[in-house]
Amino acid sequence: MFKKQCLTMVCFICSFMLHAQENAISVSNFTVKNQLQSNISEWGNTPGALLLVAQNSSWGDRPVKLLIAVKKGDSKICGIADGITLDYFKARSFGTNELLAGLGNCETLPPGIYSLCVQFRGMSDNRQWVNISPEVCKPFTVDGGTNNQKYTGPAPIFPENNKIFTEQDIKKPLTFRWTPVVPKPQEPVTYRLKVWQLMQGQNSTEALRTNPPIVTKDVDNFTQTIVANLLTGPCKPPYLCDFVWTVQAINREGKPWGENIGESEPSLFSVSSAGCGTNKDIVTITCKGWVNGLPTYNVSIVFNNVIPITGGQQCTTMMNGITATLGTISGINTLPVTIPVGGNSPAISFTYTPANSTQTAVTFNYTGIWNDGNNNTSNFNSGLITLPSCVCNSCDLIQWNIGTATQALLGNYMNIIQPFNPTGYGNIVGVKAEIITFERYVGDSCMSCNKDWNQWGNFTAGNYAGLSGSLAAASPPITGFTHHAIYFNATGPGSFNLSISTPPLSNLSCCCDRVAVTIRYTYTFKASDGTCTYCSFVKRYEFFKGNCRGIPVPIDTPVNPTK
C-alpha cells in the first residue's frame, strides 16, 4: 500500500513539473488579420497584420526560441524549423516584420483557409530543447482578391477613340461599352463611368485633370450602360463639342482591379457641327520688312469648306475672328467673311509681327459660326507654321536721288564729281566712299615704264558737300596715298568730289588706255529710335585716252544698293 502511494505521488509531481515547464512563457495576445495576401512578403505592408504579446513567467534567462508555422489543417506548410533565437525578456511584443523572420522559407499561398501557429521552446538543464509554452494558432484566409491576382482592367470599346457623332446622333441615348476585368474576379465588380467635356484651349489630359466630369455612373457587373441627354443643345464657348471618357473597375471596398488604379486609358469622341462638313485654311506668309527692330510679315489666309461625304447638311460658315498665339496682328479689314459650301472664302490679308526677333513659328486661331440653324461654332487653328526668313531690308526705303556724274581724266589722276540726295530713312550722320575695284586695260606696247601698281587706284583727295575727307599717309615701305576709303563727317546730302591716282598713261597716238573704277558709297542713317543703319550704293566709272575708236562707250552702271 505504501509503495502504491509513493508511485502515485511521483507521477503527480512529474505531471505538475511538466505542466509548469510548458507554461514557463505564456502568450497573452496573438492577433492575425482575417484576410491576408497570397504573397507572404507583402504582409509587412499590411497594417496590423500580425501581433504577438508574451510573458516570461518562470523560464528566466535560459535560451529561448520562437517557432512560427503556417498550417493547413494539421499539416505544416512552411516555417523555419529551428525558429527564431530570442534574447532574454520579461514581457515582449512581436510585430509583423519580427514574426515574418520565422517564415523565411514561405513564399506564396494559394487561395484557401490557413492557420498561423506560434510556440516557445527553451533549452532545459540537460541541454535539450523542450516546449515551454502551448502552441497557439489563429486562422486566416487567402482568397482570389485584388491583392493576389494580376488583373487586366477595362478598356473602352464604344465610343471608340476619336469617334465623331453628328449632332442628331449625340442627342439620342448613347450606349457606352467596355471590356470586362480579366480574369473574372470571384467578388462583384463595379465599373465607374466618367465623361468630361473639353474647354477651349484644353487637351484631353488637361480636361481630365481640371474639369469636373459631366457624367459619373456606377454599373455593377455589366460592361455597358446608357447615358441620355449627354448634349441637349449647341456647344457654346468656352465649351467645345469634344469629350473624353474613362471607366474604372473597383471592388465593394473601393479598391481597384488592375493597374493604373483600375482605370482605362482615356478615349475621345466629338460632335460634328450638324454635319456641315469641315473647314480648313490655306495660309501664305511672306516677309514684309523690319520695323522697330522686328520682322513683319504679309499674311494671306483663304478658308476652304469640305462638304460631308455622306449625311449631314451643306451649310456656309461665317468666319469672325483671327488671333495669334504669340505676337500681334494688324490691318485686318476683311472680316467677317463667308465660306461657301464646298468652296473658298475671299482672301483675308493682314500684317503679322512676332513677339521678338528670335521667334520662328506661330499658330493662328480661328473663330466662326456654322449657318446650320443652331449657330454651332467652327473654331479651329492653323497648327504651328514656320515663319520664313526675313532679311533686314531697311535700305529699300531709301530714295537715292542720284545726280549725273562729272568725270575727267587729268594727268595721273581721275576726278569724279557725283551728286547724291538720299531721303526716306532717318538723318544722315556719316558718309564714306570706298574703292571696290580699279582696272586698267592697255596693250603691252603701250605700257609706261612706271609699273608700281601699289600707287594706282587710291584716293589722293576728296570732299563731300564742302567737307574734306579723312585720309592718312601710307605706312612704309609704301609711300604716298594708298587708301581705298575716305570718310566724311557729313550731316546731309551733297556731292562727292573725289581724286583717284592712275598710272602714267601712254601719250602715243596709236594707243588706247582704258581705266575703270567701281566705288561703293555708304551713308550712315540714324533712325528716330536711335539705331543706326548703313546703306550703300555701288557705281562703276570708265575712262578712255588715246585712239579708242571702236571701243564701247564708257560704262556708268549703278548696282542695286545693299545694306
Q: How many CB atoms lie within 10 A of CB 176?
A: 23
122, 258: one domain = no
For residue 158, is pLDDT > 60? yes
Q: Are 223 and 179 within 8 A, CB to CB? A: yes
For residue 478, is pLDDT > 50? no
What mean pLDDT, rounded, does the chain reach? 84
Q: Which of 93-97, 196-200, 526-530, 533-537 comes out lowest in average pLDDT?
A: 526-530
Taking the alpha carbons at both ends of the chain, their separation in whole angstroms is 139
239, 340: one domain = no
Write the CATH number for 58: 2.70.50
Non-local (6+) Cβ contacts of 547 within 8 A are 509, 510, 511, 512
Non-local (6+) Cβ contacts of 360 within 8 A are 386, 387
Helices and strands of the chain, counted as H and E runs: 4, 37
- Partnered with residue 67 across adjacent β-strands are 119
Q: What are phi and psi of 524, to 5 degrees?
A: -105, 120
284: left (phi over 0), alpha (psi -120 to 50) or beta: beta
Write the CATH number for 222: 2.60.40.10
Distance from C-alpha of 85 to C-alpha of 87, rounded to nearest angstrom = 7
For residue 231, is pLDDT > 70? yes
Say if 10 falls within a structural domain: no
263, 315: one domain = no
Say if 54 falls within a structural domain: yes
Query: What percent of the chain is predicted at pLDDT more than 90?
Result: 45
What is the pLDDT averaged over residues 121-139? 92
Domain boundary among 331, 351, 386: 386
55, 119: one domain = yes
Say if 378 falls within a structural domain: yes
440, 367: one domain = no
Say if 181 falls within a structural domain: yes
Number of folded domains that form the chain:
4
- Asked if omega into 558 is within 30° of 0 (cis), the reply is no
448, 402: one domain = yes
pTM beyond 0.75: no
What's the pLDDT score for residue 234? 64
**9 or 498: whose pLDDT is higher?**
498
Say if 289 falls within a structural domain: yes
Say if 348 falls within a structural domain: yes
Write the CATH number for 358: 2.60.40.1230
Residue 119 grid cell: 510556440
Domain boundary among 116, 142, 168: 142
DSSP H or E segment with residue 14: helix 2-22
Write the CATH number for 531: 2.60.40
296, 432: one domain = no
What's the pLDDT score for residue 512? 83
Local confidence band at 273 (pLDDT 50, 70, 90 cut-offs): low
What is the pLDDT averaged over residues 376-403? 85
Q: What is the pLDDT of residues 11-23, one digit of tens each?
A: 444 444 444 577 8
What's the pLDDT score for residue 15? 45
171, 103: one domain = no
What's the pLDDT score for residue 277? 64
What's the pLDDT score for residue 556? 47
Domain boundary among 386, 415, 440: 386
What's the pLDDT score for residue 10? 41
Residue type, 198: L
What's the pLDDT score for residue 561? 36
Q: How many CB atoms lie within 10 A of CB 415?
A: 16
What is the pLDDT averaged over residues 62-66? 94
Say if 13 falls within a structural domain: no
3-state secondary structure of 559: strand
For residue 488, is pLDDT > 60? yes
DSSP H or E segment with residue 338: strand 337-339
Distance from C-alpha of 101 to C-alpha of 79, rounded to nearest angstrom = 9
Residue type, 26: S
265, 178: one domain = yes
375, 488: one domain = no
Local confidence band at 472 (pLDDT 50, 70, 90 cut-offs): low
Q: Which of 264-278, 456-470, 491-505 comes out lowest in average pLDDT?
A: 264-278
225, 300: one domain = no
Distance from C-alpha of 328 to C-alpha of 351, rounded to nearest angstrom = 8
Read off the DSSP letter of residue 45: G
Q: Which of 214-223, 237-246, 544-553 comes out lowest in average pLDDT?
A: 544-553
Range of the domain at 34: 18-142
Say if 6 falls within a structural domain: no
What's the pLDDT score for residue 103? 94
544, 405: one domain = yes
